[in-house]
Copies of this chain bind each other. A is one copy, B any other.
């Protein structure tokens, strides 16, 4: 499966102890690396992927053929310079691009796990990543970088493995899923579950695929990734390949055609149950709750350098959520830089070519590299 990626297997002797109390013995993590680990193993950067991305951060995607999802940021000569750093990106546990997830074969039944796969958390994702980093022989990561669900993983790393994180970049993220975030997560899950082809979760065994439900879930999520202003600028009320409205339910408007396309292409590359599990992991994320209700406790005695950024038109992970993180880091006496970038591009901005954001991340990494003794 996915020969493009390396795969780390973990057998019964290295089980994953999940937050639910369940033990996942025998699992695998698919990952990509770029660049070369230096002699003292001090130049490793872990990229944590958001919900619907995967380990293919800086190479063409094996299913879609599209460029890596963060090639703007990661590559030879880029800000996360793969000629300088050893970059690791792994598919999260629960995912569907090679890491063990609900579509993987359950060794006990030799059928797909489906809903027998245990519900996982952001913490579980990070534990599995940490086992991969161990396997690669790396003790301390020079940096961990992630946006959105990726940023949640960075926060989790910086809280639970703080001695292993020299620097951390958290973009367009939050230390908890808000009520509105959970609401949209629930919409996505209900859309999938309403599709009879979901087969109560056992669609692989049934030979079906809840394409329509997953497409609706994706379409809904996609709206939340963009700002109203972006939608207005890109689409407005423009008609799709017609000069007049048709008085029907076809995609008269470009925005309708665009969303339908987003839905249809997504189901080609994503597993519906993975979508349920990963959105659930995000819903469950509440870092303060894991530290007695005080977020600053999550970062006590941290030596990690932090960079936190938000985007002015991001209404899914708005600036106020980043400020909560920053205030907690301040209260914990951490080293933290914070920026809110002006853009009309909404949540998606962290994945796009945003020069001001890139130059800030670049400055932060350069400074951290000097502190780490990683002179060019």
- Where the two chains meet, the residues of A that have a C-beta atom closer than 8 Å to any C-beta of B are 19-20, 22, 118-119, 176-180, 182-184, 186-187, 189-191, 193-196, 212-213, 215-216, 219-220, 223, 228, 231-232, 234-237, 245, 247-249, 251-253, 255-256, 259-260, 263, 276, 280, 283-284, 286, 289, 315, 318
Contact = CB atoms under 8 A, between A and B. Distances in A.
Contact of A259 (B186, B196, B251, B259): B186
A177 B194 CA distance: 28
B286 A180 contact: no
Nearest 4 A-B pairs (CB), nearest first?
Answer: A194-B212, A179-B231, A20-B247, A119-B247
A213 B196 CA distance: 11
Contact of A223 (B180, B255, B259): B180
A316 to B, nearest CB: 9
Nearest to A22: B247
A357 to B, nearest CB: 23
A219 B180 CA distance: 12
Nearest to A236: B179
Contact of A190 (B178, B184, B263): B263
A184 B222 CA distance: 11
A213 B187 contact: no
A186 B119 contact: no
A195 B280 CA distance: 23
Nearest to A233: B179
B195 A228 contact: no
Contact of A187 (B118, B219, B249): B219
A179 B228 CA distance: 7
B190 A213 contact: no
A192 to B, nearest CB: 10
A296 B251 CA distance: 29
A315 B228 contact: yes
A248 B178 CA distance: 18
A183 B346 CA distance: 15
